[in-house]
Amino acid sequence: INSSGTDFDYKDTCKWAKEFPMCGEKFQSPINIKIPNLESLGELPPLKWNGYENAPTTMTLVNSGHSITLTGQWDDNNIPYITDGPLTDAYIFEQLHFHWGPNDSVGSEHKMNGNSFPLEMHMVHFKKEYETFSNAVKYSDGLTVVGLFFDISPMGSEALTAILGGVSAVSSSKDPFELDPFELSSFNVAIAAVQFATYAGSLTTPPCSQSVIWILPINTLNVSSKQMKKFRNIELNHGDTHNYRPTQPLNGRSIHIFTQ
Ligand code: SG4
Ligand code: ZN
């Protein structure tokens, strides 16, 4: 952590709270999801993905030094957003990014029954009512992040191929790289008809704002060892070789389950 107070590393995440007080608050993320302890949310409508079949006009990949982040520009009315499930309003897609580690036994931020996965992808959305991402972060229901777990499989993931096609350009560079635009629906199609866990938590990086409704499908997508190698080649700030925060105490929060 440098003296400017705007940067952080993953060597001792317990130190984050010194410079970023919200990282020391009670309802932090990620957490361990214990499947047998889940409560049912009952008659929830299915989560709805809207506009994910629309390709953006431009798509950009950037190495933030803490992850690689994918953003896109969509024409008005074409922006992807999610509704229903546990959500009370539309949540507009902002960006997606990844968390990984130095080997296959670690990498994901959330755990399922104490198990880690080599890769976790976060699709970050903000509540439409709050108009912008930076404004939405100030509210407890401002953001929803859909987290997807990936497990090793020789086939790998078609959906990741398009993103990883541009990864070598940003592995050792902070310059944004323009990808050939593609639609994001391959990800939500892959998690159709599964159960989800949901709970209230925080951003998993400083400033750790407690503004996130987490939505985690209880199944995994595939990533190949070759694809994982590309993630591990990405140069992170401070020589970090992982970018997952350890799980945080639940502190009495309930985790609810619902189906799509
Ligand atoms: C990653 O570091 C992303 O690259 C960040 O996005 C993101 O910050 C951060 O994770 C925290 O998000 O879903 N893991 S998380 O809680 O979205 C924000 C950027 O730096 C504020 C754009
Ligand atoms: Zn994340």
Q: In this predicted structure, what is the pLDDT of residue 102?
A: 98
Count other Cβ atoms within 10 Å, centred on residue 5: 11
Marked catalytic residue, from 66, 97, 99, 122: 66
Ligand 1 pocket check: which of 66, 99, 143, 202 to mutate, most ligand atoms within 8 Å of Cβ? 66
Q: In this predicted structure, what is the pLDDT of residue 39?
A: 82
With a threshold of 0.90, does the pTM exceed it?
yes
Nearest-CA residue for atom 16 of ligand 1: 203
Supply the mean pLDDT for the chain.
Answer: 94
Q: In this predicted structure, what is the pLDDT of residue 5?
A: 53
Closest by alpha carbon to 242, among 251, 231, 253, 252?
231
User: With b meaning 16 or more CB within 10 Å and e meaning fewer, what string describes 215-249?
Assistant: bbbbebbbbbeebbebbbebebbeebebbbbebbe
φ and ψ at 249, to 5 degrees?
Answer: -65, 140
Out of 39-48, 201-210, 225-234, least confident range: 39-48
* Catalytic status, residue 238: no
**Does the beta carbon of 95 lie inside 6 Å of ligand 1?**
yes
Whether the bond into 36 is cis, omega within 30 of 0: no
pLDDT at 2 over 50: no
Q: In this predicted structure, what is the pLDDT of residue 159?
A: 86
Atom of ligand 1 nearest to the CA of 68: 4
pLDDT band at 104 (very low <50, low <70, confident <90, very high): very high
| Contact predicate 108/99, CB 8 Å | yes
Tell me the average pLDDT across 92-105: 98
Distance, in Å, from the CA atom of 79 to the CA atom of 69, rounded to the nearest integer, reads 17
pLDDT band at 3 (very low <50, low <70, confident <90, very high): very low
Tell me the average pLDDT across 149-170: 94
Going by C-beta distance under 8 Å and a sequence separation of 6 or more, which residues neighbour residue 215?
Answer: 47, 85, 86, 144, 145, 146, 147, 196, 197, 198
| Contact predicate 148/168, CB 8 Å | no
pLDDT at 4 over 70: no
Nearest-CA residue for atom 9 of ligand 1: 205
